[in-house]
Amino acid sequence: MIFYQIWSFIAPGLYKHEKRVIIPFSFLSTVCFIGGAAFGYFVVFPPAFKFLVGYSNDFLTSMPSVSEYFSLALRLLIAFGVIFEMPVLMVFLSKAGIVTVPFLQKNRKYAILINFVVAAILTPTPDIVNQLMMAIPLVVLYEISVVAVYFFGKKTFAGFKEDDPINDEPEVLEKKN
pLDDT value of position 131? 85
* 146 half-sphere exposure, CB direction, 13 A CA radius: 15
Q: Of 11-15, 30-34, 97-101, 171-175, give the lowest mean pLDDT range.
A: 171-175
Mean pLDDT of 6-30: 84
Total Cβ atoms within 10 A of residue 2: 6
pLDDT value of position 139? 93
Domain edges within the chain: 15-159
Mean pLDDT of 96-108: 90
Task: Indicate the Cα dihedral angle 160, 141, 114, 96, nearest 10°.
Answer: 0
Q: Which residues lie closer than 8 Å to 94 by C-beta, 6 or more apart?
A: 100, 149, 152, 153, 156
- Contact of 132 with 123, CB cutoff 8 Å: no
The three-class DSSP label of residue 15 is coil
**pLDDT, greater one: 126 or 157:** 126
Using the predicted structure, report yes or no on whether residue 166 has a pLDDT greater than 90: no
pTM to 2 decimals?
A: 0.73
